[in-house]
Chain A
Amino acid sequence: MKAAILVFPGSNREGDVAKAIELVTGRKPQMIWHGDGDFEKTDLIVVPGGFSYGDYLRCGAMAAQSPVMAEVRKRAAQGVPVLGICNGFQIVTEAGLLPGTLMRNEKLKFICGDVHLRVETSQSLFTNRYQAGQVVKVPVAHAEGNYFADEDTLKKLEDRGQIAFRYCSSDGTIDTSGNPNGSIRNIAGVFNETKTVMGLMPHPENAVEPMFGGSDGKALFESLVEALS
């Protein structure tokens, strides 16, 4: 699996994603600077976390209009898989590749720590190495992760199985106690209609080695290798 990782001014998790991908593929991903309108064809494009363009105007709004994202939109339309993590999730929603948006956390605080997620489907490029209903533990680190979409959009997302992950308690219960940021219906990650684009606020790339607190995120990258190699 050949992967490209986009780098914007203010990105800061690109190295972590690169390590996670190298761990499961044995090859280093390409790093693509935001001003590059063209880059080598790859099997996967990753939009990493950070604070692209200082979060000016709205998180992800500036990055969504950068030259590299125009190319990503084109490739996503051709079916090239795109994974947006944290700020990358904000960028791909701002770019119109995923429905909804990420708002300020309900309690207005930056949150940093482990959360539990329920895997909503194993039927995707990104989640085939998980079981539907499985509870995993991965870290979050964000101030704007409060997912919002209008009722019509939510209904469509649920009817078409486009919810990837929901925040939950450690036993898998979906309620407010397991919801760290106020996301509507506890949504932590979503797919586009064709399930070739996925965005999520938590950081699976920071949960790939037991030494660093857990490895529940590794299966996400293994799923991609399984589907794209």
Chain B
Amino acid sequence: MKGEMKARVHVTLKNGVLDPQGKAIGHSLNRLGFAEVGDVRQGKFIELELAETDTAKARARLDEMCRKLLANTVIENYSIELVG
């Protein structure tokens, strides 16, 4: 696809929102001997291909995608990274 761009979206739980899965991962790591592991937060990583060349436009559209579907802003934050 001409003018293709890749975007990476990270979705994480907001600070203050309890993350039971992150906690369970942390406990398991501690049990495996990784005593240095403290707080663990789990999130999602989503990679998208975009037919867009304008980075400002791509960012605005991605922001809309995050708000409408990719993240639930009641409990989640998101960050957008554009690659190539």
Contact = CB atoms under 8 A, between A and B. Distances in A.
Given A148-B74, A149-B74, A104 B69 contact: no
B72 A94 contact: yes
Q: Is the interface of B mostly helix, strand, loop or mixed?
A: helix
Contacts, number: 35
Interface string B19-39: 011001000000000000000
A69 to B, nearest CB: 12
A127 to B, nearest CB: 25
A57 B69 contact: yes
Contacts of A105: 20
A40 interface: no
B70 A106 contact: no
A61 B69 CA distance: 7
A101 B74 contact: yes
Interface in A55-89: 57-58, 61, 65
A150 B20 contact: no
Interface residues of A, number: 20
B15 to A, nearest CB: 12
Interface of B: 17-18, 20-21, 24, 68-70, 72, 74-75
Given A61-B69, A61-B72, A148-B17, 13 more contacts: A58-B72, A65-B68, A65-B69, A93-B74, A100-B74, A101-B74, A104-B20, A105-B20, A106-B20, A107-B20, A108-B24, A146-B20, A149-B74
